[in-house]
Amino acid sequence: MGYTFDFSVIWENLGVLLAGAWLTIKISLLSLAFGLVIGIIGALFRTAGNRFLDWIALAYVEVIRNTPYLIQLFFIFFGLPNLGIKLTAEQAAILSLAVNFGAYSTEIVRAGVESIPKGQVEAGLAIGFKNLAVFRYIVLPPALANIYTALVGQVILAVPNYRMPRRVKAPKFYLWGLSSRDLAMLASRLEAGRQLYNATLSEALKRLSVMKKSILYAEAKAVPKSPSPQGEHPALEES
């Protein structure tokens, strides 16, 4: 059986395909750059020694990493206009991808920062550098070098998200709004997610309880028995 490949459709629409490729590359590069900046700032908050800044960065990381990217995209594109912030589909895509990538890169950069020996930080402070200057010139460059492979891996994992922004360009979303079928599907997925979360949390709590009991039991067995007082040794009593 022979096949005849017809590439005329590609050549006829080459301009559209190149424009789409350029748009994808532009959105990807901008979102990765902004996301890395967010990650560096988040890592600075996590390692600054300020509990309030650490709490803010940790809350941001946990919220973004534990919610689907599509929900974040919809919140930015459909929710921010209610607050008076109107974004185009391209701007919403870049912002949502940057915020999503920033949450993951925050923990990666934090790990790189914590891998730097404290002696380098102390040396920078000893020669008169301020804390921010030490982070920028002494800690950050080698930290980024140490986490290069992890960042590349995270970029690869984030690639599937780049197909999501097309959903905010669909006419049924931004011309007529969500249909009843879309709302029903969204509600069913949210309910399934809630049930899965409850089941996972319940199972995790059970396992933690079992682990705690096992640890307490092991510690109780490891405690040496106190020697019997003189004159109360079992062998002496039997005799």
pLDDT digits (tens, 9 = 90+) for 209-228: 888 778 777 777 766 655 55
Tell me the CATH number of domain 8-171, given options 1.10.3720.10, 1.10.10.60, 3.40.50.920, 3.20.20.70.
1.10.3720.10
pLDDT tens per residue, range 3-49: 777 778 788 888 888 887 888 888 888 999 999 999 999 999 998 88
Contact 93, 24 (CB under 8 A): no
Query: Residue 113: CB partners within 8 Å, gap ≥ 6?
Result: 43, 47, 135, 139, 140, 143
CA 208 – CA 25 distance, rounded (Å): 45
Domain boundaries, the chain: 8-171, 178-222
CA 64 to chain centre: 6
pLDDT tens per residue, range 88-111: 888 888 899 999 999 999 999 999
Contact 150, 131 (CB under 8 A): no
CA 82, 98, 76 angle in degrees (round to 5)? 15
Contact 162, 28 (CB under 8 A): yes
Q: Is the pLDDT of residue 163 over 80?
A: no
Q: 3-state class of 18 per DSSP? A: helix
The token pair at 95 is 């912002």
How far apart, in Å, are the Cα atoms of 220 and each of 212, 216, 217? 12, 6, 5
CA 103 – CA 204 distance, rounded (Å): 24
The token pair at 155 is 């970029």
CA 20 – CA 166 distance, rounded (Å): 11
